Amino acid sequence: MGVPSTALFTDHYELTMLQAALEAGSAERRSVFEVFTRRLPDGRRYGVVAGTGRVLDAVENFRFEPDVLHFLRERRIVDEATLQWLAGYRFGGDIWGYPEGEVYFPGSPVLRVEGTFAECVLLETVILSILNHDSAVAAAASRMSSAADGRALIEMGARRTHELAAVAAARAAYIGGFTTTSDLASGYRYGIPTVGTSAHAFTLLHDSERDAFQAQVESLGRGTTLLVDTYDVAEAVRTAVELAGPELGAVRIDSGDLLLVAHRVRQQLDELGATRTKIVVTSDLDEYAIASLRAAPVDAYGVGTQLVTGSGHPTCSMVYKLVARAESADPEAPLLPVAKKSAGGKTSLGGRKWAARRLDENGVAEAEVIGSGPVPDELVDRQLLVQLVKGGQVLTREPLDVVRERHAAALAGLPLSATQLSRGEPVLPTEYA
């Protein structure tokens, strides 16, 4: 499950930049890089910071081991002097960021990496890879959780994405409000509760649906979930209750007009005395489908493809930009703001930034305030960035349940319109102090 080194989770040009900077004598200049996005995905009202814990793991495991150095030497990617420098690489700088689970908006400095240019530039690709993927999934999960309105959500996307991305997606989904996952690797690595019973193949394996249900109930108990849409739903529900009795845990519906079928199944279960048997629905759900089922007697939703692909937005378009650097390699040299200037909306603001969230008189967030100068007195206690790494050492690692609770609290602190699924602008404006 583990990756021994994350050093090659990077782009070729990170190493060639390093080589040129080493030769020029500029590699040791103190530098500040920030991760931010210029805009939210079209129509989204907030973003969710997810993947921070995985970023910390990746930074700790960013080591150029002998086999990695051999690969770089064999391909002549960098020269021998650079290889010698890489052999001793350990990130020794500082990292600040929005706490994982927090919400963010355009321009929010969700992560700030400080150190020498050489040690910071190498981390760009792996940091963006993690944050862009995990934050996209968490944002989709958050929207689906809001649409579910307190009903259980099951992450079921492992078969719809890369096997390792599936593990990260389940983690991000749990942060965003999902309650369980079908993916055992996620349960093993992150302690996320796992669930699952049977697929259509199990029913088709047996000579009859009754035989399949009987085998499942005898093996897994009356509290199991029976899949009732392989053949005829009404007949399957009758058989299920007959075999398991009113103690039947749940039935799952995976096809058809879910709104209509759920109502019919609920009525049938109640008539058969299985009033406590729950209904689980699956089948290509997204936040809009979940919202449309709010009036249906559904107890839980299973979501796969749309969740692990960010519900149409598989990336957050986060970037990693140099915003300040020292005027020389002298450790005491002052930092100078730097910024890219270009057409096409790709400009950025220079300077080492702070971020704070201003509240209105009712304690509801009203603006994301970002600045690079002194923090106004009224915002000192509302600052968002916390230190994650100091002198190369990770300061703390948080349980996922803490991160999950933080997201729920952050979302509750936004205006009510944040959870609307209709297209709109970010729920908070970004102001620059």
Tell me what the mean pLDDT of segment 56-79 comes to. Answer: 96
| pLDDT tens, residue by residue, 145-181 | 999 999 999 999 999 999 999 999 999 999 999 999 9
SS3 state at 246: helix
Closest CA to 365 of 399, 331, 414: 414
Q: In this structure, what token pair is assigned to residue 102?
A: 């927090």
What is the phi/psi pair of residue 64, to 5°?
-95, 90
DSSP 2-32: --S--TTSS-HHHHHHHHHHHHHT-TTSEEE
Say if residue 12's pLDDT is above 90. Answer: yes
Structure tokens at 29: 């200049």
Q: Which residue has the higher pLDDT, 234 or 43?
A: 234
What is residue 344's predicted lDDT score, i.e. its pLDDT? Answer: 66
The whole-number pLDDT of residue 2 equals 52
The pLDDT of residue 343 is 67
C-alpha–C-alpha distance, residues 323 and 78, integer Å: 26
pLDDT in tens, 211-253: 999 999 999 999 999 999 999 999 999 999 999 999 999 999 9
Residue at 388: amino acid letter: L
| Domains of the chain in sequence order | 12-122+318-355+386-416 (3.20.140.10), 142-312 (3.20.20.70)
Tell me the per-residue pLDDT of 247-273, one tens digit each, with 9 for 90 and over.
Answer: 999 999 999 999 999 999 999 999 999
When pLDDT is averaged across residues 380-408 and rounded to a whole number, the result is 97
pLDDT of residue 1: 45
362 phi-psi bin (left φ>0, alpha ψ -120 to 50, beta other): alpha
Q: Kindly report the average pLDDT of the chain as a whole number.
A: 96
Q: Give the residue among 209, 246, 183, 122 at the shortest CA–CA distance from 174.
A: 183
- Compute the average pLDDT of residues 180-201: 97
CA atoms within 13 A on the CB side of 362: 8
- β-strand pairing of 30-36 with 103-104: unpaired
pLDDT over 70 percentage in the chain = 98
Query: Could you tell me the sign of the dihedral formed by the alpha carbons of 371, 372, 376, 381, in that order?
Result: positive
Neighbours of 156 (CB within 10 A): 25
Contact call for residues 113 and 127 (beta carbons, < 8 A)? yes
- What are the structure tokens assigned to 192, written together? 């996320």
Percent of the chain whose pLDDT exceeds 90: 94
